[in-house]
Amino acid sequence: MPRNALDGLLVVSLEQAVAAPYCTSRLADAGARVIKVERPEGDFARYYDTAVGDVSSHFAWINRGKESLIADLKEPDDRALLAKMVARADVFVQNLAPGAVRRLGFGSGELRHAHPRLITVDISGYGEGNSCSDLKAYDLLIQAESGLASLTGLPEAPGRVGVSVCDIACGMNAHAAILEALIRRERTGSGCSIAVSLFGSLADWMNQPLAFAEGTGVAPTRVGLAHPTVTPYGAFESADGMPVLISIQNEREWVQFCTHVLDDAALAGRPGFESAVARLANRPAVNALVAEHFRRHSTEALIGRLRAAGTAFGRVNDVAGLAAHPALVRVDVAIPGGSTFMAAPAAIFDGQASQFGPVPSLGAHSDKIREEFSSDPLVGASPANQGQ
């Protein structure tokens, strides 16, 4: 089913890599027209790998439904074309290197002055007005700088979250902010400028460990597939060597777990096991007892017991396990050189799978876009000779 909540909306995006393309792909999914402005060599994320047709796995994932325009913004004519497009646009998004759009004459202040209904979105690594503002920022760097890596991995070493979580968080925040700005514009008639950073996005997600550390004086530690403050909560191997992750969140669940999984209802009230606080203090003994019981049963037998107890559990899947998962919903998306059957966005509208536009080849829409905007007058900010 096509989604059309944003039909008629024009989004112009100077974007590359992940954060901005993630944001604009969600706008395109909802029916917005998204013109992706690419340098002559293309968004460098096109070439991260060769896993999906003629584009990378990253690019196929977050560029569906867009139009691709090749433009060299060092050239006055192409800056003039961009200025004409922005004059018509509802939303202008950019995540170029710090200061790059201002040097080209497309800073948000200039654009907002020239086009009061325009919503501008600046995506950066560290935000404006601090000593890190001019630094390049990539996902893993922000995972480290924000403290996330200090909480990720096994006790002996920090680790990286296995997907681009900083970029994704930033793109989600930008998407939500744009929708909020569109609602406000509908009420007031005025656009606004939005600034979103990778660091700020992850700092927000780090609020709980930050509050815990500042409130207790003790920083959370890396615990692998366990929980820093809840026991038992972690992965335990079955008799056939499969790790099964369990989570006990309250005393009712603990009693049921002891009764139906560990076959020992009295254990729930034993000293050292009788409360969440006691179990945390007695974590090694609790985990050892759970591990011993799990090793007595096959994975399928354990799952039957966990279901009977109402215990939250999960297999520790690999990517192949995800591909075969019964809850995975897929959508077919056309890409340069073929099609790909990718995981669907999480939101399902009216119980029906959405339909998505194709991933564009580099410059696929350049001629059409140039012809469309050729007769527009050059008005407002960013004249063609600016930025030289």
Q: Does 22 lie in the same domain as 166?
A: yes
**Does residue 185 belong to any structural domain of this protein?**
yes
Q: Does 147 lie in the same domain as 38?
A: yes
Q: Does 237 lie in the same domain as 96?
A: no
Domain stops at, among 278, 298, 315: 315
Whole-model pTM? 0.89
Comparing 67-71, 76-80, 351-355, the range with the smallest average pLDDT is 351-355
Q: Does 368 lie in the same domain as 249?
A: no
d(CA 189, CA 208): 37
Q: Does 118 lie in the same domain as 267?
A: no
Q: Does 261 lie in the same domain as 198?
A: no
If you average pLDDT over residues 20-28, what whole number do you get?
Answer: 97
d(CA 112, CA 120): 7
pLDDT of the residue at 56: 92
Q: Does 167 lie in the same domain as 92?
A: yes
**Does residue 380 belong to any structural domain of this protein?**
no
**Does residue 119 belong to any structural domain of this protein?**
yes
pLDDT of the residue at 270: 92
Q: Does 107 lie in the same domain as 41?
A: yes
If you average pLDDT over residues 362-388, what whole number do you get?
Answer: 76
Tell me: pLDDT of 20 over 50: yes
The token pair that represents 328 in the structure block: 């995975």
Q: What are the CA-CA distances from residue 204 to residues 148, 166, 177, 331, 348 (Å)? A: 11, 11, 15, 31, 26
If you average pLDDT over residues 99-108, what whole number do you get?
Answer: 92
Q: Does 296 lie in the same domain as 170?
A: no
The token pair that represents 217 in the structure block: 């004086």
If you average pLDDT over residues 271-283, what whole number do you get?
Answer: 92
Q: Averaging pLDDT over each range in 223-237, 257-271, 346-360, which range is the top one? A: 257-271
Question: DSSP states of 44-55 as a string?
Answer: GGGGS---BTTB
d(CA 13, CA 63): 11
Cis peptide before 98 (omega within 30 of 0): no
Comparing 71-75, 128-132, 174-178, the range with the smallest average pLDDT is 128-132
Return the higher-pLDDT residue of 231 and 177. 177
Return the higher-pLDDT residue of 53 and 14. 14
Q: Does 48 lie in the same domain as 197?
A: yes
Range of the domain at 98: 10-206+344-373
The token pair that represents 382 in the structure block: 């960013």
If you average pLDDT over residues 333-353, what whole number do you get?
Answer: 87
Greatest CA span in the chain, whole angstroms? Answer: 82
**Does residue 241 belong to any structural domain of this protein?**
yes
How many domains are there within the chain? 2
If you average pLDDT over residues 63-69, what whole number do you get?
Answer: 96
The DSSP element (H or E) to which 79 belongs, if any, is helix 76-88
d(CA 255, CA 257): 5
> Which CATH number do you get for residue 301?
3.30.1540.10
Tell me: pLDDT of 266 over 90: yes
If you average pLDDT over residues 110-122, what whole number do you get?
Answer: 96
Comparing 171-180, 197-206, 310-319, 376-385, the range with the smallest average pLDDT is 376-385
Tell me: pLDDT of 84 over 60: yes
Comparing 73-82, 139-148, 305-314, 339-348, the range with the smallest average pLDDT is 339-348
Tell me: pLDDT of 350 over 70: yes
> Which CATH number do you get for residue 114?
3.40.50.10540
Q: Does 353 lie in the same domain as 291?
A: no
Tell me: pLDDT of 181 over 90: yes
Q: Please identify which residue in the block is written with the tokens 């006055």.
A: 76
pLDDT of the residue at 299: 93
* Average pLDDT for the chain: 91
Query: Is the distance from CB of 170 to CB of 19 less than 8 angstroms?
Result: yes
Comparing 63-72, 84-93, 335-344, the range with the smallest average pLDDT is 335-344
**Does residue 151 belong to any structural domain of this protein?**
yes
d(CA 2, CA 24): 17
pLDDT of the residue at 387: 38
Q: Tens digits of per-residue pLDDT, 220-240?
A: 888 888 888 889 999 999 999
Q: Does 280 lie in the same domain as 181?
A: no
**Does residue 222 belong to any structural domain of this protein?**
no
Among candidate residues 84, 163, 170, the one with its CA nearest the CA of residue 121 = 170
Give catalytic residues, as residue numbers: 227
**Does residue 328 belong to any structural domain of this protein?**
no
**Does residue 321 belong to any structural domain of this protein?**
no
- Range 224-239 burial, b when 16+ CB lie within 10 A, else e: eebeeebbbbbbbebe
